[in-house]
Amino acid sequence: MGDTVQYELDGHVTTITYNRPDALNAINGEMRRDLNDAFSRFRDEEDAWIAIVTGAGKAFCAGADLRDGAGSAGDFPGTFWEKPTINSFESGWEIFKPVIAAVNGYCLGYGLTLVTWCDFVIASEEASFAFPEVRIGVPTIVGAIRLPQRLRWHDAMELLLTGERIDATRAKEIGLVGSVVEADDLMPAARRLAARLSAGAPLAQRAIKEVAVRSQHLPPLEAIRFGETMRKLAATTEDAAEGGRAFAEKRPPEWQAR
């Protein structure tokens, strides 16, 4: 992992930081590689249970670096149609560990696409959000797929089709953001939420998130059957046994993610 993305594991909480502040954290080829490395590490690292994503400086992420437009999408093997399109966390990598976005400033394009894939969004009062691609003649694809699943149609289309920027207060009004805090309280608020999440069994959380994601695309009966299968699987874990013991002994459980 290079210098354009910082990765820090503290206990079981990983903080992933966009780190091109002089470029408003716009994504170029180097940062694309570093971002993918960071999320791959978070996905695969046993001790990493929860992630916080934020930006250095006054931006969360200003989208693609237009001076390196091809590089910002990544360079992947394959020929024409065969090139992978699900090639990053923004585009839909399956990571079922909880992810918190701590949005500290400009959140545009790729940055907002990532936010729509996060489970929790906390915004600084200084944050702003937009999909500006339409104003330079480029269609927003993943945003167009994902945003209507999170917002009312009108609000999603307004963001996607106008390219206009909205502030943190408006983002909270339409449900894009869960909470708005003062700038100095942004990371403390994200860490408080991560601490609350740490009280839950990590493998049970991942099962819940996977059921929540997959069941949106399944008929009700199949969704329930899938969920019950996941329940039976989770019941075989060491953490499930520890949860039962801790409850009987009236003490906090000591989760191991096993």
Where are the chain's structural domains? Answer: 5-197, 202-249
Do domains 5-197 and 202-249 share one topology? The answer is no
Q: What pLDDT sits at residue 85? A: 87
Does pLDDT of 137 surpass 70? yes
Per-residue pLDDT band at 70 (split at 50, 70, 90): low
pLDDT digits (tens, 9 = 90+) for 9-47: 999 999 999 999 999 999 999 999 999 999 999 999 999
At 216, is the secondary structure helix, strand, or coil? coil
Structure tokens at 39: 């999320």
Across 176-201, average pLDDT: 98
Q: How far is the C-alpha of 122 from the C-alpha of 176, rounded, in Å?
A: 10
Are 243 and 258 spatial neighbours (Cβ–Cβ below 8 Å)? Answer: no
The CATH topology of domain 5-197 is 2-enoyl-CoA Hydratase; Chain A, domain 1 (3.90.226)
Q: What is the pTM of this model?
A: 0.95
pLDDT of residue 1: 74
Q: Which fold has domain 202-249?
A: Lyase 2-enoyl-coa Hydratase; Chain  A, domain 2 (1.10.12)
Cα distance between residue 24 and residue 105, in whole Å:
9
Mean pLDDT of 100-113: 97
* Beta strand pairing call for 106-108 and 128-130: parallel
pLDDT value for 69: 60
Residues 6+ apart with CB under 8 A from 180: 122, 123, 124, 125, 127, 168, 169, 171, 172
Confidence of residue 193 (pLDDT cuts 50, 70, 90): very high
